[in-house]
């Protein structure tokens, strides 16, 4: 029996959950998965739910569904018009800049030569240097960053940080295999270290400002303890 999905917020129009890592949001044409967040939440609530945005299979954190087609239409418009503020926690290789802006167009999901604008702002929250020669350097350096994508392109954060020479740890597509193995062998962490920590927007029906924050799960709490970052990542409401 599956564990129930953790609900972070619910009203008559929307429900926000904490998506676990490793699960697709909804069924795709090529997927052979048997478990999907949309179907599980529908069964748990006993009513239809409508996707508003998405998170990659490997990414955990805040995910919002609408409870009617009209509610979905209004919040999708807010995402499209960049009226939703998104905050992500990520562990990246190396010492990231204290603050930064990545403005680099990304190729579309269909491939080819066409690209879409993509903008990510980030702030470094903490750093650590470990006495292990993971690659060609005698020590291994990592940063905990808070990333705020202004656009929502496919794999945007993963591709942007990889292109900036700070790949996200645990990313098996765009990341660094040697550092991924190090985290598996040294710390026992096999997942992508990327979490949708918060979403903020003006409620399309009540017109009140709404901030939804996902608490850190046990794996993230353990990792922050191991790296000496627990005082940063565990602040109420997120960093």
CA distances to 11, 28, 63 from 43, in Å: 17, 19, 17
* R_g of the chain computed on alpha carbons: 18
Identify whether the C-beta of residue 141 lies closer than 8 Å to the C-beta of residue 91: no
Catalytic status, residue 171:
no
**Residue from 233, 96, 86, 61 nearest 167 by CA:** 96
The CA distance from 9 to 15, in Å, is 6
From the list 11, 33, 56, 176, the catalytic residue is 56
Residue of 24, 26, 18, 28 lying closest to 64 (CA atoms):
18
Q: Which residues are catalytic?
A: 56
């Amino acid at each position: 029996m599956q564990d129930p999905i953790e609900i972070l917020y619910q009203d008559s129009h929307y429900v926000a959950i904490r998506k676990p890592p490793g699960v697709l949001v909804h069924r795709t044409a090529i997927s052979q998965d048997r478990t999907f967040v949309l179907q599980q939440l529908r069964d748990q609530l006993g009513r239809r739910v409508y996707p508003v945005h998405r998170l990659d299979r490997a990414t955990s954190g805040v995910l919002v569904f609408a409870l009617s087609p009209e509610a979905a239409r209004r919040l999708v418009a807010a995402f499209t018009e960049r009226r939703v503020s998104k905050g992500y926690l990520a562990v990246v290789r190396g010492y990231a800049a204290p603050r930064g802006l990545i403005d680099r167009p990304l190729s579309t999901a269909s491939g080819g030569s066409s690209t879409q604008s993509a903008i990510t702002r980030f702030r470094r929250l903490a750093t650590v240097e470990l006495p292990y020669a993971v690659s060609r350097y005698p020590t291994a350096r990592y940063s905990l960053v808070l990333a705020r994508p202004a656009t929502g392109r496919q794999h945007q954060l993963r591709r942007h940080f990889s292109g900036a020479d700070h790949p996200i740890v645990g990313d098996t597509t765009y990341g660094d295999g040697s550092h991924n193995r190090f985290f598996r062998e040294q710390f026992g962490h096999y997942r992508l270290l990327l979490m949708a920590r918060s979403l903020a927007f003006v409620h399309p029906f009540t017109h009140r400002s709404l901030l939804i924050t996902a608490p850190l799960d046990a794996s993230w709490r353990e990792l922050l303890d191991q790296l000496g970052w627990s005082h940063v990542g565990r602040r109420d409401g997120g960093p």
